[in-house]
Amino acid sequence: MAMYAQLLGAALERYRSGGERSTGEVLAELLAIRIQLAQLDEFLSGEAEPDWVPAALADQLSHDVTLIELAQRHGIDSDPMAFDPPQPERARLERVLLTRGIPLAWQDAQGQPFPELPEDPSSGPG
């Protein structure tokens, strides 16, 4: 088993033992993490601090745990072992979520902002 997949599995178990959150809260967290990752990418394109690796790994794990949680809430199967390597499984989950009306990119291919996210049908009224 790849080390990243092991770390992701452990992080996912720890995440699931936390308090219950709504699907909207999970989505908001995922989008916030994606902004943080984009800022990290910009930072790393310059001169990086010597201790950036643990922070980058923690951010990647947070992103993937939250992505798995969001996918599973929408009936999409995913397993930490599928994240070996991580990028193909991330892309697959993002594509499937997009087909279900959950865009995770800020803009579409033509550079236009995505419309408002649809309501989660499982959350019910109110």
Q: Tell me if the pTM is above 0.85.
A: no
Q: What is the Cα 119 distance to its own chain's centre?
A: 19
Instruction: State the Cα–Cα distance between residues 107 and 99, nearest whole angstrom.
Output: 15
The structural domains of the chain, with segments of one domain joined by +, span 3-45+52-104
* Higher pLDDT among residues 49 and 107, named by residue: 49
Across 5-14, 61-70, 103-112, the highest mean pLDDT is recorded for: 61-70
Which pLDDT tens digit goes with each residue over 27-77? 988 988 888 887 766 666 666 666 777 878 888 999 999 999 999 999 999
Helix (H, G, I), strand (E, B) or coil at 69: helix
Per residue in 85-102, pLDDT (tens digit) is 999 999 999 999 999 988
Q: Residue holding tokens 């790994």?
A: 57
